[in-house]
Amino acid sequence: MSAFEVNFDGLIGPNHNYSGLAFGNLASSRNAQNTSSPKQAALQGLEKMRTLIRLGYKQGFMLPQQRPDTQILRALGFSGTDENVIAKASQSNPELISMVYSASSMWAANAATVTPSHDSTDGKVHFTPANLVTTSHRAIEHQQTQKLLSTIFNNNYYFTVHSALPSINRFADEGAANHTRLTSSYDDAGVGLFVYGRDENTSISDLIFPARQTLEASQAIARQHTLAPQHAIFLKQSARAINAGAFHNDVVAVGNGPVLFYHQDAYDAPSQMLAFDQLAKHFDFKAIEVPAEKVSLNDAITSYLFNSQLLASPTGDMNEMRLIAPTECYDNINVRQYLSELVEDQNQPIRHVEYVDVRQSMSNGGGPACLRLRVALTEEELAAVNPAFLLDEQKIDALKDCVNEYYRESLNPEDLLDPAFLIECQTALDALTKVIGIHNYYDFQTQK
């Protein structure tokens, strides 16, 4: 096999907190103002990465973003040293503090949309950082995301890292959470399935919560990534799913290889019929629809069944797939029952389910699939990836030591108002870069 999928997980930062910033994301609203544990969150994420390595998969990671983002506060008129800027904003506009302190870059599925070189017409792997324009705490991510992707995929011969689409509502983009690359095998060309929540004709009054992805954004990305028209398929989410809390497609669907595993209520019916017909022209498309009578939309959204990672076997066998599901799926009796029946059904290729504990992230609406960015790479492309961001168990241990030493056990949203916490975060990020041998990466390191 010469091509495979590598998962790059977002390493959770020392500033992980519950500030209730994501309207339409029910878990975020439910847990607003709760106490978080940055240490447990990061350790849970690292253990998930270890689980994949032990199962035989290739695993990478992405550094947390620099937080607080004092540049944003400066652009809003606060001045002085970083500590002064935080102290002044804490006094006059405390609501801005949670925005610049969000650890939301952990959800790497929203970092970018990725097209593998087998699919692009120019033969490069393309990355477009998501502008995340729908929420203010996430709209500040894309510049640092672009810098990080350019550091990890630092080879213009194989990789093209684009800028985010213009930060305009019409081009609202949430990255790979709404994009699925489907193919018969990693060695073959595949298609990009782009799922969107609204287009020019959508009646906004049908939506209780924001539709975070537009058709125009998805079309622009397909163009940027040099996808031939028949290799880009567009599929509309149902208003029902968005209104039930499916703020991203990956809350109600996950796909890989020739398989799309999705909830019965995920899509607009005419759009689904058309998209599935188009997919069937490319390969033996396998649609696994989960009926609402077995798993209700509510069970799907509270358990995050569809935010499982759907993996081919480590050798790329699409007939021997597995789900990496959050433990909440085990805890939900309907979902657990459904999954135990599913793996027995020989008419479909999902043979195993692994449960992982990522509860700290789940409480902000981010499951196993949210935490990772998938990149299908050939052997040569993998050899061109910056090795600092590829993991083995030893590096995971070293990152865990760092988390244990520098991350707080618990954090309350009001702790962010203390200017001293800024230094604590920078100290932790500085230590993480040292572990992987990347020096002078963050602005605070180069500006010293």
CB of residue 157 to ligand SUG, shortest distance in Å: 30
d(Cα 244, Cα 250) in Å, to the nearest integer? 14
CB of residue 317 to ligand SUG, shortest distance in Å: 26
What HEC string does 61-87 produce? EECCCCCCCHHHHHHCCCCCCHHHHHH
Residues contacting 447, CB < 8 A, separation 6+: none
d(Cα 263, Cα 269) in Å, to the nearest integer? 12
Residues contacting 347, CB < 8 A, separation 6+: none
Q: Name the residue nearer to ligand SUG (CB basis): 22 or 403.
A: 22
Residue 269 burial (CB count, 10 A): 10
d(Cα 170, Cα 235) in Å, to the nearest integer? 17
CB of residue 106 to ligand SUG, shortest distance in Å: 8
Which residues contact ligand SUG (rule: CB under 6 A)?
A: 17-22, 25, 28, 102, 104, 107, 109-110, 138, 177, 247-248, 250-251, 364-366, 370
Backbone angles phi, psi at 218, to 5 degrees: -65, -40
For the chain, the distance separating the N- and C-terminal CA atoms, rounded to the nearest angstrom, is 46
Do 251 and 174 form a contact (C-beta atoms < 8 A)? no
Backbone angles phi, psi at 412, to 5 degrees: -105, 150
In 3-state terms, what secondary structure has residue 217?
helix
Do 351 and 45 form a contact (C-beta atoms < 8 A)? no
Q: Name the residue nearer to ligand SUG (CB basis): 324 or 388.
A: 324
Q: Name the residue nearer to ligand SUG (CB basis): 221 or 370.
A: 370
The two structure tokens encoding residue 232:
């880009």
Identify residue 170 by its one-letter amino acid code: R
The angle that helices 82-92 and 420-435 make with each other, rounded to 10 degrees, is 130
CB of residue 280 to ligand SUG, shortest distance in Å: 27
Q: Name the residue nearer to ligand SUG (CB basis): 50 or 137.
A: 137
- Name the catalytic one among 137, 179, 248, 282: 248
Q: Is 248 a catalytic residue?
A: yes
Exposure letters 413-443 (e unless 16+ CB within 10 A, then b): bebbbebebbebbbebbbbbbebbebeebbe
CB of residue 432 to ligand SUG, shortest distance in Å: 21
Distance from the Cα of residue 271 to its chain's centroid: 24
Q: Name the residue nearer to ligand SUG (CB basis): 24 or 349.
A: 24
Q: Is 370 a catalytic residue?
A: yes
CB of residue 156 to ligand SUG, shortest distance in Å: 28
CB of residue 175 to ligand SUG, shortest distance in Å: 8
d(Cα 276, Cα 355) in Å, to the nearest integer? 30
Residues contacting 150, CB < 8 A, separation 6+: 161
d(Cα 33, Cα 279) in Å, to the nearest integer? 43
Q: Name the residue nearer to ligand SUG (CB basis): 117 or 145.
A: 145
In 3-state terms, what secondary structure has residue 438?
coil
CB of residue 161 to ligand SUG, shortest distance in Å: 20
Q: Is 402 a catalytic residue?
A: no
- Name the catalytic one among 126, 137, 370, 425: 370
Residue positions annotated with a catalytic role: 174, 248, 370
